[in-house]
Structures are given as structure tokens and as C-alpha cells.
Structure 1
């Protein structure tokens, strides 16, 4: 496998690094508070970075999200691309792609997703959804939200429709999150109406959720679970890439601090304990990056990548938490300043750790998937 970016991917990453570096400054982020930087979002869309995701693939998106993570830029880039652009492009009908993709490409529509699905939303015979999702990232910015019902069938819900309520929720990182409350809200099934749903319960929808590929049968709940699993695997990969950038940014700040701050007449970076802590953080960051790259590359090559996506999620959760803690600790007393830029990386790292799932849960799911694949 070759993770070397293509010319298009490299150009997009360079442009993203420039835009995030110029606009996602500490001063602008502080002024934005817990809200989204609307000007930055418009700039990213105007530069064609959102629309480019369809061409550069999931690996290209991971590269762009690394640049966002380095600066902890407050825009719904990851959510809108993975739950909107890629989900519709990969699984929508021709009519859905023609109608939904143009506004997602230019940023006039913003998508997010209620993933992983832990809410048990219900659908009636008319395609109306009811239930509560306690927390959805970037929901306050979204015009569309991708949700899964109890059978893991995917539905696109418009946040402005009747029966849809958004209740703001503050999270560890400023992700413009909200609680999603649906009361017989109209939904549009991703992929079209499809065949008649099997009235029998799905044999094991959770087991299908981590495969990253469609099941053999394209009918009933198993088809819905396969699509849900594919979107979930893509989102885990994308957010692992975001975590790689968050960790790289935290470590870069720690290195800059320890090489310029002196103690007893010499830089802190000459202390062996500091060197070892920074080296461990570097290795953890590289592990997150390479596992995210592998999962994304396999997606773009049309290969099964459910196990790789879970591996990337595990590293991003477990190692990501270690890295952002190390970044803060290496700043000494300065790291305790809530207004210091490194604290923002700490908050993002912890939020991504929570969002991807605690390491033990992800590891258990990975083990179950490997056992299932080994028995086939």
C-alpha cells in the first residue's frame, strides 16, 4: 500500500494548511467562543475544499482534517463531509446525489450525523421518526442530519422541518452540539425507499456496524445495517485523522515551549524526562496517523476496512488522550492556563476520545469483528 498523496491530494492539503493557518488563529478562536467561525467556513467552501472531497477520497479528507486538527479550527468540516458529501455520494440514489450534493459542496447546506447510533430512534409506516439523540456534534450549524433507526436504516432529516427540535448542549470542545428531539419528523431514506423491510428482527445489526462494507443481501434490515456500518467506518476514520492533527498541534506547541523555556540556565528540552515524554507522544501521534491512513486508503481502493477503521479509532481514543495530556503537562504551570492555546488541543483531544468511544469499548468491538471474520 502507498500512502503518498496524489498531486490533487497534496495540493488540497497545502491549501487547507494555508487557510487554517491564516484564519484559525488563537485570537480568532478565542473571539469565536463556543460557536462556529462562519467566515472561515465560507473561505473553505469558496476555495473548493468541501467539493474536492469527492475527488480526493477519504484519504484526502483525512489529510485535510489533519490540518484542521493542528489549529483546532471551529468549523463543521469533518461532520459535513463524512455524514453529508461522502455518505450521499457513496450511498444515495442518483436523484438524491443530484439534489443534495450541490448545496453540500458549496457549503450552503451543512450536514452532521447521529453516530454511533445509541438512541433507538423509531420509524412509523409513513417514514416519520421519533425519539431523542442526547448529543449530536455541530447540530446547531446543520441543515441536514443523518440518523439511524433501530434497524440501522439511514434517514436524512432536515433540521428546519416540523417535528424536529434542537436543544443546545455544551460539550468539552466547542463543537456547536445539540440534543436532537424528533416527534414524528419526516425523514428521507438514504438510498431511496428500497425493498419492503423484513418484519423479522435483524440477526445482529451491531455486528454489521463495524464491517465497513455492504452485506451480501441487499434487502431488509441487513442492507440498512451494512450501509450504517459503512458510514460509521468512514466517520471513525475521518475523526481519527482529525485527532492525528490535534495531537500533532499539541506536540508542536509543547516542543516550541520546552525548547525556548529555560530552567537552571538550560532549555527544558534538554531534560531527559521531557525528551522521553515528547518522544512517546510523537510515537503515539504517528500511530494514529498511519492507522487512519491505512483505513482511508483501503476505503478508496474498495477494500474491506472495518477492522482498520476500528484500529484507527482505538489508537485515536487511547493514544490521543495520552498525547494531549502530555502536551499540557510539558507546558508546566502554563498548561494550567485555560486561555493558553494548548488547552484547546487538550479539550479537542478529550472530546474526540469520548466521541470515538472509550478504548475498551472499541477494542471489544474490534475483537468481535475479528472473531466473526475468522469464522467465515
Structure 2
């Protein structure tokens, strides 16, 4: 395995780092409140970053999302790329790709996904979709939402349809989320519905693995940003005449956080690399999701604790990393839940290999 980024991937990461570093400032994030930074989203799209994902692949997207996570930039980049651009490019019909991709590339269309499927949406005999999903990230910004029904079929639903309701929901992190209610809307089928891993339709299994990997990459950036703030604080803040960073307890806590962050990063890289190489990656995506969930919350807790009393300030930038880290933990699934799914997947693969 070689996770060395290509020239194009490195360029995309560098561009993302510059834009997020310049525009996703504490002052702008404070002004945005719980909403999306619309001007930042326009800047990203004008620079061609969402469109570049089709060329740089999932590993390139993970690198870009790391940069977003470092600054907790409030834009629907991960959702649009995973549930829109990559999903349609990989599984859409030629007509769907021609019709939908241009708007997703230039940002005039925003996608999100009701993932993973929890059985909350079902399809009636007449083909209409019914049900609800408690919260969907960036739903309030979305023009399209990718919905998985109880049988794991994928449907593109336009949020402006009369039978689609998006009720604003405030989540731990300011992700412009909403409760999705479908009351007989007719969605547009995506994918051919062929069986994939564990008997799931191939399109659903692929999008789910892609989403887990991408959001794990976002968590790697959130953790790196939190740790960087903690390091700066403990190096510059003195206690009893010496920097806090010289305290052994502080050093060990920061070292543990660093190792956790690297574990999230490398497992996300492996899953993304395998996906781009068209190798089986469901187990690796679950592994990345577990590290991002379990280790991610440890890191953002450590980042806040290492700030001492300052970390209790809800207006301090490090608190935003804490909120994002906990939100990603919830979105990726608790550790026990993810491990159970991983165990079932490995057991199934082992049985297939023995037969």
C-alpha cells in the first residue's frame, strides 16, 4: 500500500488548506452561528474543489476534508461530495450524470444523505416513498437528498417537492441539520440494485463505505486542529514559572491524543486508497469509522481539558472542535455498534472463504 498523494491530490489539499485557513476564521464562524458560511461555500466552488473530487478520488477527498476539519469550516462539502458527486458519478445512469453533476460541481446544487439506513423509509407498491429520518446533516442547505429505503435501495429526492418536509433540527455541531419527512414523494432511483457485500445492494454498500471513510477523514482534521490548539496553549501558557507543556501529565495526554489522531488518519487513508484501487474496503471503512468515533472523542476531550479553565469557555475556538468531534462520533455510530457490524462482516467473509 502506498498512501503517498499524487500531484493532483497534493494540489487539492494545498488549495483547501489556503482557502479554509484564510476564510474559516474564528470571527467568521462566530458570525455564521449555527448556519452555513455561504460565502465560503461559493469560494470553494469557484476554486473548483468539489468538482476536483471526481479526479482526485476518495483519498483526495479525505485530504481535503482534513483541512476542513482543522478549521471546522461550516460548509456542506463532505455531504455534497459523498452523497452527490461520488454517488452519482459511480452509480448514476449516463442521463443522471449529465443532468445532476454540473450543478453539484459548481455548488448550485447541494446534496446530502439519509445514511446509514435505519428502516425509517419504505417504498409503497405504487413506488412512492414514505417515512422519516430523525436528522440529516446539512439538510437545510440541500437541494437533493439521497435516501435509502428499508431494502437498501437508493433514491434521489428533491427537497423542494410538496411531499418532502425538512424540519430544522439543532445538533451538537452546527451542521444545518433537519428532520426529513417523506409523505408519498416519488424519488428517482439510483443504481441497479444488484447485490453487494452482505447481500446489500451494491450502490448502498459503496456509498456507505465512502461516507464512513470521508467523515473519518473529517474527524482526523478536527482532532488535528484541536490538538494543535492544545499544543500552542500548553507551550505558551506558564504555571509556576514554566510552560504547562513541561508537566509530565500534560505531555502524556498530548502524546496519547497525537497517537489517536494518527490512527484515525491512517485507517481513513487505507480505506480511501483501497476504494480508489477498486478493492474491497467495507471492513477498512468500518475500522476507520470505529477509530474516528472512539478515538475522536478522546482527542477532543483531551484538547479541551488541556486548555484548563479556558477550555470551559463556550466561545473559545477549541470548544468548536469539541462539538464537531462529538457530532462525528454520533454520526459514525458508537464504538460497540460499529464493532458489531465489523464482526458480522468479518464472520460472513470467513464463511464465504470456507465454502
TM-score (normalizing by structure 2): 0.97
CA distance in 2, matches of 1:86, 1:126: 29
Partner of 1:226: 202
CA distance in 2, matches of 1:27, 1:137: 23
CA distance in 2, matches of 1:137, 1:279: 32
Moved over 4 A (4+): none
Partner of 2:4: 4
CA distance in 1, matches of 2:127, 2:309: 55
Contact 2:45–2:105 at 8 Å: present in 1 too? yes
Partner of 1:201: none
Contact 2:191–2:203 at 8 Å: present in 1 too? no
Q: Could you list the per-position Cα deviations for residues 132-160 of structure 1 after superposition, in whole angstroms to 9, with x for gaps in the alignment?
A: 11100000000000001111000000000
Partner of 1:313: 289
Contact 1:113–1:137 at 8 Å: present in 2 too? yes
2:313 to 318, 337, 346: 337
Contact 2:197–2:205 at 8 Å: present in 1 too? no
Contact 2:80–2:110 at 8 Å: present in 1 too? yes
Contact 1:127–1:188 at 8 Å: present in 2 too? no
Contact 2:91–2:203 at 8 Å: present in 1 too? yes
TM-score (normalizing by structure 1): 0.92
- Indicate yes or no: 2:222 matched with 1:246: yes
Give aligned pairs, total: 352
Partner of 1:57: 57
Look up the SS of the partner of 1:5 in the other structure.
coil
Q: Give the Å deviation of 1:345.
A: 0.1
Q: Could you list the per-position Cα deviations for residues 205-261 of structure 1 after superposition, in whole angstroms to 9, with x for gaps in the alignment?
A: xxx8xxxxx359xxxxx5x63221111000000000000000000000000000000
Q: Give the Å deviation of 1:162.
A: 1.4
Q: Give the Å deviation of 1:191.
A: 2.6
Partner of 2:149: 149
CA distance in 2, matches of 1:79, 1:240: 13
Q: Give the Å deviation of 1:125.
A: 3.2
Matches within 5 A, 1:43-122: 43-122=43-122
Partner of 1:162: 162
Look up the SS of the partner of 1:40 in the other structure.
helix
CA distance in 2, matches of 1:372, 1:215: 9
Partner of 1:29: 29
Partner of 2:40: 40
CA distance in 1, matches of 2:113, 2:23: 26
- Indicate yes or no: 2:189 matched with 1:189: yes
CA RMSD of aligned residues (A): 1.3
Q: Give the Å deviation of 1:65.
A: 0.2
- Indicate yes or no: 2:19 matched with 1:19: yes
Contact 2:283–2:342 at 8 Å: present in 1 too? yes
Q: Give the Å deviation of 1:120.
A: 2.7
Partner of 1:271: 247
Contact 1:161–1:186 at 8 Å: present in 2 too? no
CA distance in 1, matches of 2:131, 2:226: 38
CA distance in 1, matches of 2:66, 2:119: 30
CA distance in 1, matches of 2:210, 2:11: 22
